[in-house]
Chains A and B, each alone.
Chain A
Amino acid sequence: IAGITQAPTSQILAAGRRMTLRCTQDMRHNAMYWYRQDLGLGLRLIHYSNTAGTTGKGEVPDGYSVSRANTDDFPLTLASAVPSQTSVYFCASSAEVSGNEQFFGPGTRLTVL
């Protein structure tokens, strides 16, 4: 692995189903983030993590949960998907949470029907 990876690349999901988007980085970055990107709205922060074991809410956290059990992994879970969660999801990481460039994963395109 080099950098930051996400899985799956794309997914079509029925409304009401549970879904976990995976994110893994091998740069030993302390901070990690989840964003969603919708046309015309840019990137919006869902949740973030300063360091392993801690998480925080971003701009649009409702309907999503995260965990940070270790440095490398930062999964995003949709407990019961709704059509408004159709979006492209990007995971990102940075060395520290403040004042550092963010490296983005390739994204997951999620469609909720």
Chain B
Amino acid sequence: QQPVQSPQAVILREGEDAVINCSSSKALYSVHWYRQKHGEAPVFLMILLKGGEQKGHDKISASFNEKKQQSSLYLTASQLSYSGTYFCGTEDGGTYKYIFGTGTRLKVLA
């Protein structure tokens, strides 16, 4: 029941774009996105709620397809600071239980 993220890893050059996908087998109330750098705690990027409301980062965008139970994170004009592991977290409506995907490792090269 863990959300499936794709790709598992990606390498970019500075300025390139990337898309990270998160797919769940269950109906979702919300999808969260976090970035974690090595040895540090996850940091919030974006939350997408059922019904279309979004809260989050000015420089990162995301989409949430409720019917397909999928979310995508769009990183445009990537910077070196974007390197890290990206996790999606999904919330089952009404259960208060968050389940995170296995992560996508992203490396941005100069």
A residues sitting closer than 8 Å to B (CB atoms) are: 31, 33, 35, 40-45, 48, 50, 56, 58-59, 90, 97-107
Question: Judging by beta carbons under 8 Å apart, are B41 and A106 in contact?
Answer: yes
Question: Judging by beta carbons under 8 Å apart, are B102 and A98 in contact?
Answer: no
CB-contact partner of A42 in B40, B44, B96, B100, under 8 A: B100
Main DSSP-derived SS at the B contact region: strand
A-B pairs, 8 with minimum CB distance: A104-B41, A101-B44, A43-B100, A42-B102, A42-B100, A97-B96, A104-B42, A99-B30
Chain A residue with Cβ nearest B98 = A45
B47 within 8 Å of A (CB atoms) = yes
Question: Judging by beta carbons under 8 Å apart, are B97 and A59 in contact?
Answer: yes
Which of A41, A42, A59 is packed against the most chain B CB atoms within 10 Å? Answer: A42
- The answer to whether residues A45 and B97 also contact, given A98-B30, A99-B29 and a CB cut-off of 8 A, is yes
Question: Judging by beta carbons under 8 Å apart, are A42 and B2 in contact?
Answer: yes
- With an 8 Å Cβ cutoff, the count of chain B residues facing the other chain is 25
B107 within 8 Å of A (CB atoms) = no
Question: Judging by beta carbons under 8 Å apart, are B42 and A90 in contact?
Answer: yes
Question: Judging by beta carbons under 8 Å apart, are B47 and A101 in contact?
Answer: yes
Chain A residue with Cβ nearest B56 = A101
Q: Which residues of A are found within 8 Å of B87, using beta-carbon distances?
A: 42-43
* CB neighbors of A among B2-44 (8 A): 2, 29-30, 32, 34, 40-44
Chain A residue with Cβ nearest B102 = A42
Complex CA distance for A48 and B97, rounded to whole angstroms? 8
Question: Judging by beta carbons under 8 Å apart, are B43 and A98 in contact?
Answer: no
- The answer to whether residues A99 and B97 also contact, given A42-B2, A42-B102, A90-B41 and a CB cut-off of 8 A, is no
Q: Which residues of A are found within 8 Å of B29, using beta-carbon distances?
A: 98-99
